[in-house]
């Protein structure tokens, strides 16, 4: 199983429109520091699944037939906005798995076009090709699911955005799941009262709480990047920053 971070940005991304902080200036100068809408691609030899659809050029990135499914964490615009254009296309339907949410986003459910929305439920696993997905509840301002994904050769990956902390059942599941790597929401630098999203401390705590082998911080705002540039904090062992385009071969990380 191979995972690619296609986007690692919080809503608004990096650079943030109109912002002149050091992190946004750096991203304007060097595309390596850009953070696009938070999303990832999960691939095995024969299967390709997109987690979240906030990239606005999905129709250019993924020619017809190149995606086996889309899996959504939730229906906030920065996680689904790439579907608005794509849906009007022609061809084989694309299944889009997502949490129970009667509202969805704008008129996606009313006019799904070539998308076929399927609701998945917490702790009820489903399969896409050789991948087994277990939806895990998260704590956010809209119904949101993270996913524990098991691929060939016991490769395991958990993707938990957007969330502030973890419900006990999610932490319990992951503790007993076996060795895995984790992508976790880290939207804020250290903050007094984080809401709807993890700050730096809460993100690291999620990694510790679940016993992840490696914790990848993602869904990062320009404020996190700016704080990192000025504070240069030590990263706890096993914690790393995701960046757009970073590709992780999980079968190359044996337990």
Look at the block and give the residue holding tokens 């705002």.
Answer: 221
The DSSP secondary-structure symbol of 246 reads -
Alpha helices by DSSP H, 142-181: 168-175
The DSSP secondary-structure symbol of 153 reads G
Q: Which two tokens stand for residue 5?
A: 């971070």
* Bridge-based pairing state of the strands 39-43 and 2-7: antiparallel
Q: Does 84 bind its own copies (CB under 8 A)?
A: yes
- Write each residue from 31 to 70 as x if it is in contact with its own copies (CB under 8 A), else as -, in one continuous string: ------x------------------xx-x----x------
* Closest distance to its own copies from the beta carbon of 2 (Å): 25
Q: Which two tokens stand for residue 221?
A: 């705002």
- Write each residue from 112 to 141 as x if it is in contact with its own copies (CB under 8 A), else as -, in one continuous string: -xx---------------------------
Q: How far apart are CA 85 and CA 114, in angstroms?
A: 11
**CA–CA distances in Å: residue 221 to residues 188, 196, 210, 225:** 6, 14, 23, 7
Please give the size of the binding site for its own copies, defined by CB under 8 A.
Answer: 28
Q: How far apart are CA 168 and CA 161, in angstroms?
A: 16
Residue of 4, 12, 116, 246 that binds its own copies (CB under 8 A): 12
Q: Does 76 bind its own copies (CB under 8 A)?
A: yes
Q: Does 93 bind its own copies (CB under 8 A)?
A: no
* Closest distance to its own copies from the beta carbon of 171 (Å): 29
- Comparing CB distances to its own copies, the nearer of 63 and 254 is 63
* Closest distance to its own copies from the beta carbon of 245 (Å): 19
Q: How far apart are CA 139 and CA 141, in angstroms?
A: 7
Per CB under 8 A, the segment of 74-82, 192-200, 228-236, 237-245 that binds its own copies is 74-82
Footprint of its own copies (CB under 8 A) = 11-13, 16-19, 37, 56-57, 59, 64, 76-78, 81, 84-86, 88-91, 105-107, 113-114
């Amino acid at each position: 199983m191979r995972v690619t971070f296609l986007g690692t940005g919080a809503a608004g991304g990096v650079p943030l429109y109109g912002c002149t902080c050091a992190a946004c200036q750096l991203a304007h100068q060097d595309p390596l520091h850009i953070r696009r809408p938070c999303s990832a691609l999960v691939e095995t030899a024969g299967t390709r699944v997109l987690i979240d659809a906030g990239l606005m050029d999905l129709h250019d990135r993924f020619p017809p037939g190149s995606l086996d499914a889309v899996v959504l964490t939730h229906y906030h615009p920065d996680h689904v906005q790439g579907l608005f254009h794509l849906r009007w296309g022609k061809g084989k339907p694309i299944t889009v798995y997502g949490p129970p949410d009667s509202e969805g986003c704008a008129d996606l459910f009313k006019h799904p076009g070539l998308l076929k929305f399927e609701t998945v439920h917490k702790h009820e696993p489903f399969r896409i090709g050789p991948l087994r997905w277990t939806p895990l509840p998260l704590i956010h301002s809209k119904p949101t699911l993270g996913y524990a994904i098991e691929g060939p050769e016991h490769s395991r990956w958990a993707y938990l955005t957007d969330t502030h902390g973890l419900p006990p059942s999610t932490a319990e599941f992951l503790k007993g799941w076996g060795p895995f790597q984790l992508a976790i929401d880290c939207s804020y630098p250290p903050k007094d009262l984080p809401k709807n999203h993890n700050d730096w401390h809460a993100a690291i705590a999620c990694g510790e709480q679940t016993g992840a082998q490696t914790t990848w911080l993602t869904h990062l705002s320009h404020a996190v990047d700016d704080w990192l540039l000025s504070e240069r904090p030590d990263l706890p062992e096993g914690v790393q920053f995701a960046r757009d385009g970073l590709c992780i071969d999980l079968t190359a990380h044996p337990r």
